[in-house]
Amino acid sequence: DRVEYPVVVGEGVLDELCSYLASAPPRGAGLVPAPEVPHVLFTDTTVNALYGDRVEALLRACGLEVFRVVVPAGEASKSLATYEWAVGEMLQGGAGRKSVLFALGGGVVGDLGGFVAATYMRGIAFVQLPTTILAHDSAVGGKVGIDHPLAKNALGVFAFPRAVLYDTALLRTLPPREVRSGLAEVVKHAFLEGEEYVSFLEAEAEKIMALDPGALAEALLRGIAVKADVVSRDPYETLGIREVLNLGHTVGHALETLGGYRSLLHGEAVALGLAVESRIAERLGILAHGVRMRLEALLARFGFDLRWPEGEAYDPASVVRVMLRDKKNVRKKIRFVFLTDLGKTEFRELASEESEAHLRAVLRE
Ligand code: NAD
Ligand code: ZN
C-alpha cells in the first residue's frame, strides 16, 4: 500500500489516461494493468450516461478489457446493500486480484468504489477519476467507505489510490447545486490554510462559480495541496493532525445523517456545519474577531443557505445524539475542531449538555 500517488489536474487529462497510468512515478502511476484480466469501470447512473462510453473507449484504447459496474446516483448508494450488489457484479464480471478498478464519479463513487476495491479479494488496485468539485477532497487522502443509517462513513478503511486523474473539463455538466455543494470543502480548505487562499476565493468567487477554467483549477489545486499536506503528515489519522479536516463536519455529518442522507447534500451540510461551529467558537471566546463574518459572507456568496433546516428531525437534542456516535469521540464528550483564526484551529471536547446549550443559543441568534 503506497501512501503517495500522482494527482494530475487539468482540462483534458483523461485523454492521456494510458500514458499517466504507465509512466513512472511521481508523474505517473507506474501501473501497467494486466491485459489478461478484465478491469472495472465503476461509476453511477448519471456519470455513466454522460461519460461512460467515452471513458470505456479510452480504457479499451489502452489495450484493457473492461466491464462496468453502475450504481444509482446519490448518497443512498454508499450503503451495505449497494456494496453487496457491486461485489456480486465484480464476481460475475470475472474481476480478479489483478484487476484494476477505475472509480469515475463524485465522492459517492470514489468512497464506495474505493471501498469495494480495498476489500475485494483482500484488496485490488484502484484509480480515482473524479468528476465533481467536491471530489477534489474525497478522491485524495485515502479514506474510503460507506454509511450506516445510524452514522455517516461508519464502515471504511484507509486505502490509497494508485493515481488520481482529475479532468476539469468534466465538471462543466455539473448541476449548479452540485457546484455549490463542492465549494463548501474548498471554503473549508481555505480557512484551514489561511489568508492567501481565503482572499483568493473572495476575489475570484464569481469566476469560480462560473467554472472559469483558470480560477477553478487554481481553487481546486490549492484545496488539494492543503489536504495532501495534512494527510502526508498523518496518513492514518493516528497523530491527531489529520483531524483538522473534520472542520465543519461534526455538526455537518449529524445534519446529513438526520436528513436520511437525502435532504441535504454533503457540502450543504458542511457549509452549515462550518457556520454553526464558527459561531460556537465565537461563543467560547476562542475565535479571532471578524473571521466568522468572512466565513459566512463567502459561503453566502457561493449561494449557501445558512439557515438551520426546518423540521423536528434537526432538533439540537437529536443533533447531539448523532454527534455522540462520531468516530472521534471519547468518554461521552463530543470532539470538535474549532477555528481560532485564519489558518489556526484548536480541539475541544464538550460535554453533550454543553454542546446542546451552544447549539440552542446559536439557533436563537
Ligand atoms: P456524488 O458523488 O453523489 O455526486 C453528486 C451528484 O453529481 C451525483 O448525482 C452524480 O451522479 C452527479 N455527477 C457527478 N459528476 C457529474 C458530472 N461531471 N456532471 C454531471 N453530474 C455529475 O457526491 P459528491 O458531492 O461528489 O460527494 C459526496 C460524498 O463524498 C459524500 O458521501 C461524502 O461523505 C464524501 N466525501 C468523502 C471524503 C473522503 O475523504 N473520502 C471527503 C469529502 C467527502
Ligand atoms: Zn466532507
The C-alpha cell at 237 is: 489519522
- Residues 311, 167 share a domain: no
Instruction: Return the C-alpha torsion angle 98, 104, 110, 114, nearest 10.
Output: -10
Q: Are 248 and 270 in contact (CB under 8 A)?
A: yes
Q: Clarify whether 353 is annotated catalytic.
A: no
- Residues 165, 184 share a domain: no
The C-alpha cell at 308 is: 438551520
Distance 266 CA to ligand 2 centre (A): 6
Q: Is residue 225 part of a domain?
A: yes
Burial class (CB in 10 A: 0-12, 13-18, 19+), 108: buried
- Residues 340, 238 share a domain: yes
Q: Is residue 153 part of a domain?
A: yes
> The domain that contains 249 carries what CATH number?
1.20.1090.10
Pick the ligand that lies closest to the CA of residue 111.
1
Q: How far apart are CA 342 and CA 211, in angstroms?
A: 26
- Residues 354, 237 share a domain: yes
Residue 1's pLDDT is what?
A: 53
Residue 142's pLDDT is what?
A: 94
- Residues 318, 230 share a domain: yes
The C-alpha cell at 39 is: 478491469
Ligand 1 pocket, residue 74 CB under 6 Å = yes
- Residues 348, 206 share a domain: yes
Q: Are 181 and 268 in contact (CB under 8 A)?
A: yes
**In the listed set 139, 157, 173, which residue is the last one of a domain according to the structure?**
173
Which residue has the CA at smallest separation from atom 35 of ligand 1? 107
Distance 98 CA to ligand 2 centre (A): 31
Q: Clarify whether 202 is annotated catalytic.
A: no
Segments in the chain below pLDDT 70: 1-2
Ligand 1 pocket, residue 269 CB under 6 Å = no
- Residues 281, 145 share a domain: no
- Residues 337, 350 share a domain: yes
Q: Clarify whether 344 is annotated catalytic.
A: no
Q: Is residue 111 part of a domain?
A: yes
ipTM: 0.99
pTM for the model = 0.94
Q: 135-147 in b/e burial notation, b at 16+ Cβ within 10 A?
A: bbbbbbbbbbbbb
Q: Is residue 2 part of a domain?
A: no
Distance 254 CA to ligand 2 centre (A): 12
Residue 2's pLDDT is what?
A: 66
Distance 66 CA to ligand 2 centre (A): 31
- Amino acid of residue 284: L
Q: Clarify whether 207 is annotated catalytic.
A: no
Q: Clarify whether 185 is annotated catalytic.
A: yes
> The domain that contains 110 carries what CATH number?
3.40.50.1970
Q: Is residue 305 part of a domain?
A: yes
**In the listed set 127, 155, 173, which residue is the last one of a domain according to the structure?**
173
**Span 263-285, pLDDT tens digits:** 999 999 999 999 999 999 999 99
Spatial CA neighbour of 220 closest among 159, 250, 179: 179
Give the residue ranges of the annotated binding site for NAD(+): 107-111, 131-132, 143, 152
Q: How far apart are CA 50 and CA 85, in angstroms?
A: 23
Ligand 1 pocket, residue 75 CB under 6 Å = yes
**In the listed set 173, 204, 239, which residue is the last one of a domain according to the structure?**
173
- At 249, give phi and psi (nearest 5°): -95, -20
Q: 34-50 in b/e burial notation, b at 16+ Cβ within 10 A?
A: eeebbbbbbbbebbbeb
Residue 151's pLDDT is what?
A: 87
The C-alpha cell at 327 is: 468516530
Q: What angle do CA 178, 184, 189 make, to 5 degrees?
A: 135
Residue 331's pLDDT is what?
A: 72
How far is Cα of residue 200 from the mean position of the Cα atoms in its chain?
A: 22
Q: Clarify whether 54 is annotated catalytic.
A: no
Which residue has the CA at smallest separation from atom 36 of ligand 1? 138
Cis peptide before 130 (omega within 30 of 0): no
- Residues 342, 215 share a domain: yes
Q: Is residue 127 part of a domain?
A: yes
Total count of domains within the chain: 2
**Span 72-97, pLDDT tens digits:** 999 999 999 999 999 999 999 999 99
- Residues 126, 194 share a domain: no
Residue 3 C-beta-side C-alpha neighbours within 13 Å: 11
- Residues 224, 267 share a domain: yes
- Looking at ligand 1, which atom is closest to the CA of residue 75? 3
Could you tell me if residue 211 is left (phi over 0), alpha (psi between -120 and 50 degrees) or otherwise beta? left
- Residues 159, 235 share a domain: no
Pick the ligand that lies closest to the CA of residue 78.
1
Q: Which domain holds residue 22?
A: 7-173
Q: Are 355 and 323 in contact (CB under 8 A)?
A: yes
